[in-house]
Amino acid sequence: MRTRLLLIACLLFAGEGMAQRHVVNWAYGPFATPEDAAFVVDLDRISLATGPFGERGRTLWIYQDDQVFRSVGRSASRGNCAFTLDGDHFMRTEGAFCTKVSCVFLLEKDRTRPGSLKVHRAEGPFCTATNGGFVIEQNVVYLAEGVFANRADAILILPEGIALVAVLTILAGS
């Protein structure tokens, strides 16, 4: 009887010691109605989600601190550098040493909504802001319209504790 209880307890708490797994879901409309799973962020890997519940599919990117690398092969080993987060600039990079090429996003804290982050599309080596982008508010990513990045429809629902570099990589690669 004791061994059965111990076995059941081990099975119930087997996932507690594992690393945090984040499932990013698609969303639609102004009220962020949740949809199927879109991406899985597990340890340092960003993968496509398969199925509505977010089974991990093909690994697309591997990130370490503020650098993001492309995934190579079936074993999902680290390839060339793809992006890097440099302060409030999210830059496209290339090569093994993450040489900065051009700016992808320019980040700005929204003063009108505490806890909100405006992500402007940017271009060139000096991060010149362009129209549109995204607004990250609480755990929802909205499309942004115009030069002031006004919030439009929701596209993603984020889990708690997901790294900003992972979110920006998903937005830049999607």
How many beta carbons lie within 10 A of that of residue 141, not counting itself?
22
Domain ranges for the chain:
22-173
Is residue 15 pLDDT above 60, yes or no?
no
The residue count of the chain comes to 174
Q: Is 169 helix (H, G, I), strand (E, B) or coil?
A: helix
Q: Assess contact for 161 and 22: CB atoms under 8 A.
A: yes
* Predicted TM-score of the model (pTM): 0.85
Percent of the chain residues topping a pLDDT of 70: 89
Contacting residues for 77 by C-beta, under 8 A, at least 6 apart? 71
Taking Cα atoms as reference points, which of 41, 36, 39, 43 lies closest to residue 22?
41
> Who contacts 128 (Cβ-Cβ below 8 Å, separation ≥6)?
103, 122
Q: What is the DSSP string of 136-167?
A: EETTEEEEEETTTTEEEEEEEEPPTT--HHHH
**Who's near 16: CB < 8 A, 6+ residues apart?**
none
- Our CA angle for 97, 84, 146, nearest 5°, is 145
Question: If you average pLDDT over every residue of the chain, what do you get?
Answer: 86
Q: Please, which residues have CB within 8 angstroms of residue 11's CB and are 6 or more apart in sequence? A: none
Bridge partners of 37, per DSSP, are 25
pLDDT (tens digit per residue) in 62-77:
999 999 999 998 788 9
pLDDT tens per residue, range 21-70 = 899 999 999 899 999 999 999 989 999 999 878 899 999 999 999 999 99
